Homo-oligomer: A and B are copies of this chain.
């Protein structure tokens, strides 16, 4: 994997670039589409490609439990398994462990006080997880069987899954955890990062798979900066910025971290994807994002438009012959009326989820492309202002 910065904005953080992977390039900033279980929910890979997605991110935890990494390895790794010939990412499973444990107990998901921007939260019994210095023991959400992830095991699984970009195994904490616990968890994450890196570098797979370290530190500036210094000094190919955020703190945290991380390596903001957060993240130096929000809310009928979100289940759309977003060029808006989408949702037809997911992903993927274009043309501030004023 190689990363090139093509242009930097005058604010010193934001940049336009390109990530080269063995399966193709990613023009950054970019929104990476989530395919948790080796499928972008309700879409074929051709639909994912047609809507403009450059890369797909799958989930180590889910694929480990089902179908198991050996089947992926045998099939020819993630790309072959799911028939996606572009770049791929896998997260490390750390966040899912958080979701199963303290995240569930404290009812906090990816962003505090925003149920909408939740990452993939599994429905577990609480206390399914035990953390020690060596790793994490957890019970399967599928059958209750006991499993164990260590940093080495997470990387081994990710090698077998075979994504182009993989992540170090980390511990994600709740923003409501005590500072003492945040420090303890962060320091453990740093030790796990080094172990992930050491294991990775000792294997052949490190020649074709890139490993990103994950910065933690919660809402605390001193911890975020310390984590960025320590993780940033390690020989990772790029970085993830993880953790459960307080809604107001995302931009601050990202900026603190990116001022410290080495400039020449890509930075991925894990699990964040609201329009306002895309602008804030990019402005503060983020190159790639992933988030389940566009597809999750699509399946509930919530659809993005330039004038903000609509819910297609609203009765006003039953006989509305307009398109979801009159300015949208996606497959759904090009071919179907709001009345038809409304009918599909009311009839509980599966095509509803497909058409809605195509639209929402197109909206977000292409919003990031538009942001990129505005940066290339030196018009970022103006585009941000006009988009956000109209959307919110």
A residues lining the B interface (CB < 8 Å):
37-39, 41-44, 47, 62, 66-67, 70-71, 74-75, 81-83, 318-319, 321, 335-337, 339-340, 342-344, 346-347, 349-351, 353-355
Contact = CB atoms under 8 A, between A and B. Distances in A.
B39 A339 contact: no
A162 to B, nearest CB: 15
Say how many copies of this protein the assembly contains: 2
B351 A42 contact: yes
A357 to B, nearest CB: 9
Nearest to A67: B343
Given A318-B67, A319-B71, A350 B340 contact: no
A353 B42 CA distance: 9
- By DSSP majority rule, is chain A's interface helix, strand, loop, or mixed? helix
Given A347-B37, A350-B353, A321 B44 contact: no
Nearest to A46: B331
A204 to B, nearest CB: 23
Contact of A335 (B38, B67, B83): B83
Given A74-B319, A81-B337, 14 more contacts: A41-B351, A43-B351, A44-B351, A62-B347, A66-B343, A67-B342, A67-B346, A70-B319, A71-B319, A74-B321, A75-B339, A83-B340, A350-B353, A354-B354
Contact of A343 (B37, B335, B349): B37
B346 A39 contact: no
Contacts of A82: 340
Contacts of A83: 335-336, 340
A213 to B, nearest CB: 29
Nearest to A50: B46
Nearest to A43: B351
Contacts of A42: 350-351, 354
A349 B71 contact: no
17 contacts: A37-B344, A37-B347, A37-B349, A39-B347, A39-B351, A42-B351, A44-B47, A44-B355, A67-B342, A67-B343, A67-B346, A71-B343, A74-B321, A75-B321, A81-B339, A82-B340, A83-B335
B340 A81 contact: yes
B339 A71 contact: yes
Contacts of A75: 321, 337, 339-340
Contacts of A347: 37, 39, 62, 66
A383 to B, nearest CB: 32
Contacts of A339: 67, 71, 74-75, 81
A83 B334 CA distance: 10
B38 A340 contact: yes
Nearest to A318: B67
A341 to B, nearest CB: 11
A336 B81 CA distance: 7
A342 B37 CA distance: 12
Given A39-B344, A81-B340, A350 B349 contact: no
